[in-house]
Amino acid sequence: MSTTLATLATHASALVSSITGEPRLRRRLLELGLVPGVSVKLLRRAPMGDPLVIQVRGYDLSLRRAEAALVEVQS
Amino acid sequence: MIRIALAGNPNAGKTTIFNGLTGLRQKIANYPGITVEKKMGRCQMGDTEVEVLDLPGTYSLVPASPDEAVTSAVLKGERSDTPAPDVVVAVVDASTLARGLFLVSQVMELGRPVVVALNMTDIAERRGRSVDAEALARHLGVPVVPLVGNRKEGIGLLLETVTKAVVPPAPTWKRTEDADPDLAEIAGRYAWVDGVAAACVRPGPPHITSSERIDHILLHPAFGFATFALIMAGLFVTLFTLATPLMDLCEGGITALGGWLTSGMADGDLKSLISDGIFAGVGGVVVFVPQIALLFLFLALLEDSGYLARAAFLMDRVLHRVGLHGKSFIPLLSSFACAIPGILSARTIEAPRERFATILVAPLMSCSARLPVYALAIAAFFGSWAPWAQGLLMLGLYVLGIVVAFLVAWVAMKIRGRQGTSPLLLELPAYKVPQPSLVVSQVWHGTSAFLTRAGSIILALSIAIWAITTYPKPHADDLANAESRFEAAWKAPTGVSPEEVATQREDAQGRFIAQAALEHSIAGRLGHALEPVIAPLGFDWKIGVGLVGAFAAREVFVSTLGIVYAVGDPGDDTADLQAAIRADTHADGTPIWTMATAASLLVWFVLAMQCISTTAVVRRETGSWAWALGQLVGMNVIAWLASFITYQVLR
């Protein structure tokens, strides 16, 4: 099923399928290791639901829902 | 001599290696024209002198912020102010190996000798992924020196390796078939990185790390904010209770030193300049040092332990709503001690818009210089309230500052629009025990930055304020006037020795003369001249003189008011001053100071920009007079309006 990182359930894992969005931000998300095929896990959401913490390539990255919505994943 | 540059991801432990290499032989300056810090140091390797440059942390050589642009430009030899390094030391965190190797793949293409410093191998091992440094060196074609960041071992080996480093072969990654050039490049590099990593990482059993367990509590949906509030409240209480006795000690020491130095001098302008101008000014700077050093200590502990990134994460939702950034939290927190270190620490916000917005509102946080004024006004006019109600009023003043700061930031965001706000892409590093050497160097650099950037301005202002409160000197008839007012007011105390009566009489006489001299001075005249502007706020010329004095530093308001009311400099005990201001009346017998005046004054001190040192620092940090002066004028207009409303409603 195709969805984005923003709507992934907490503690769920998925594979990145593509990154959308404005080119500079998109490039940075890719550089941080979110390339197609990599496995990501949604670790937790902040107390008010935003931002999120994901685990990718063995480290914890925090990003807002707006950025997470640019990361399409396949679960 | 050889030049080496340290490049690596943020949190990769570059600073630890930098400190390990250079010890305290460091120099921190700015790259010309921008507020990115340039950290240089030196060390010795046999007969060779080594110059070490610690570059800002970066994820890529295609920069996304001014900091990253510096790293990229220096490594490519594109900055005229900084010669290109002879050898690049790529610092890689073993626990985030792939992301580090991505940067290494770019560094290896620069055509310069490269050495990889493999850091935090201990954390990687605990996470069940031990990295084989020899295999890594073979697969990269670059020497790899393993380091456990907080121990000296390895630093010597690193230096030795650096002197023998050669230009490596280009990494053998290939673009993928993707049509998009960015994707083809980055996916290609990561495919190569994954191949290298797979060949040299010995995966252990996956297990829950201690960081995950800690985050489970500290970032918990319900307990997360509670523990956050607890940590911040603890930090605050400690900051003020620990710092106060130290601050008193500093102030007392400086005053005593000034007194001792001038004790042999004849009374006169020179003595007054030294004791009331220079030493009062130095005291005004030094008095803040314990608190600012403590503040930097707490910030260093929070940052080095890994909690500061979590705090930014927890606060981002609220701060982002009003046009700020999760990372604005640190500068705003610091500003409760003093806006100057707060504004200096806004450098950690890479996003220019959010950084400017943070600098704009940071002085609205109630700094410790406002505290004596709050304490005086509350004690004098709300002293009949229950202690908890007085405490609540004090808290309300802090909250008022925060609320107005958020409003200002929100309005600024609405004016400029949401376009161009920056994303939050924040790594939450593994928790670790702070390293003493790193903490010490952060406290040292933070405090010395405060002293050099603010100290000279505060000192110059103190001397200027001394001059305008001293000159022109009163005429003979002013003094005669003061004398007769003193004679009318003087009541000899009963039941004390004649010597004691004489001393008290002389003190009181001196206070009346000091009052006359102040009223005759430029500052006294300014107070009178300000009266039409500040009368609608309920302030008379005496408060006006206090406000003039407050431009040196806000807490000077209290001592200036003490002189205006002829009770002398009150120091810590403001009981006499409280009585004097409560008793003061207009010509028609109505009291000058009412609860409305006190409330209006409190609102003014919360919101007004009175601190010229802060304005000077804002000018330096933004590189723009328009920002600094706009903030100065804007805050004072807001403060005037708010005080006006407060006074007119309550009177």
- Rounded to an integer, the average pLDDT of B603-614 is 92
Q: Which of B367-376, B445-454, B507-516 has the largest mean confidence?
A: B367-376
Rounded to whole angstroms, how far apart are CA atoms B84 and B90? Answer: 15
pLDDT value of residue A41: 95
- Rounded to an integer, the average pLDDT of A55-72 is 93
**In chain B, pLDDT over 90 holds for what percent of residues?**
38
B429 vs A contacts (CB less than 8 Å): 59-60
The separation between the first and the last C-alpha atoms of chain B, rounded to the nearest angstrom, is: 73
Facing residue for B317 by CB, picked from A46, A59, A60: A46
Question: Tell me: the pLDDT tens digits for B501-540?
Answer: 888 888 888 878 888 888 888 988 998 999 999 999 999 9
B646 pLDDT exceeds 60?
A: yes
Please give the residue of chain B at the shortest CA–CA distance from A33.
B99
pLDDT value of residue A1: 64
Facing residue for A63 by CB, picked from B224, B309, B424: B424
pLDDT value of residue B206: 63
Asked which of B345-349, B427-431, B453-457, B566-570 is least confident by mean pLDDT, the reply is B566-570
Question: Tell me: the pLDDT tens digits for B407-428?
Answer: 999 999 888 876 667 888 999 9
Please give the residue of chain A at the shortest CA–CA distance from B317.
A50
CB within 8 Å: A67 and B182 = no
CB within 8 Å: A35 and B187 = yes
3-state secondary structure of B141: coil
pLDDT value of residue B504: 82
| Pairing, β A13-19 against β A39-45 | antiparallel
Scanning B471-497, the segments in alpha helix (DSSP H) are 476-489
Rounded to whole angstroms, how far apart are CA atoms B520 and B511? Answer: 14
CB within 8 Å: B425 and A28 = yes
A19 vs B contacts (CB less than 8 Å): 183
CB within 8 Å: B99 and A33 = yes
Residue type, B596: A
Q: Which of B193, B149, B142 is nearest to B167 (CA)?
A: B142
Residue type, B564: V
pLDDT value of residue B150: 55
Please give the residue of chain A at the shortest CA–CA distance from B206.
A58
- Rounded to an integer, the average pLDDT of B236-257 is 81
**DSSP code of residue B34:** S
CA–centroid distance for A56 within its chain: 8
Give B513's contacts (C-beta < 8 A, 6+ positions apart). B474, B479, B482, B483, B486
What pTM does this model have? 0.85
Residue pair B147/B173 in contact (Cβ under 8 Å)? The answer is no
Please give the residue of chain B at the shortest CA–CA distance from A31.
B186
pLDDT value of residue B203: 75
- Rounded to an integer, the average pLDDT of B602-613 is 93
- Rounded to an integer, the average pLDDT of A26-33 is 95
Residue A18 domain boundaries: 2-74
Which backbone phi and psi does B167 adopt, to 5 degrees? -65, 125
- Rounded to an integer, the average pLDDT of B284-293 is 82
pLDDT value of residue B140: 93
- Among A19, A62, A63, A65, the strongest candidate for a mutation testing the B interface, having the largest count of B CBs within 10 A, is A62
As for the ipTM of the complex, it is 0.95
- Rounded to an integer, the average pLDDT of B607-634 is 92
A6 pLDDT exceeds 60?
A: yes
Shortest Cα distance, chain B CAs vs residue A1, angstroms: 22
| Mean pLDDT across chain B | 87
- HSE-CB at B524 with a 13 A cutoff on CA atoms is 17
Residue pair B35/B623 in contact (Cβ under 8 Å)? The answer is yes
Question: Tell me: the pLDDT tens digits for B540-568?
Answer: 988 998 998 888 778 888 888 888 887 77
Q: What is the CATH number of the domain that holds A23?
A: 2.30.30.90
pLDDT value of residue B404: 97
CATH number of B2-203: 3.40.50.300
B207 pLDDT exceeds 70?
A: no
Domain count, chain A: 1
Q: B449 or B50: which carries more pLDDT confidence?
A: B50
Rounded to whole angstroms, how far apart are CA atoms B647 and B600? Answer: 5
**In chain B, pLDDT over 70 holds for what percent of residues?**
98
Query: pLDDT confidence of B457, banded at 50, 70, 90?
Result: confident
> For chain B, what are the domain ranges?
2-203, 226-386+444-448
CB within 8 Å: B423 and A25 = yes
B83 pLDDT exceeds 70?
A: yes
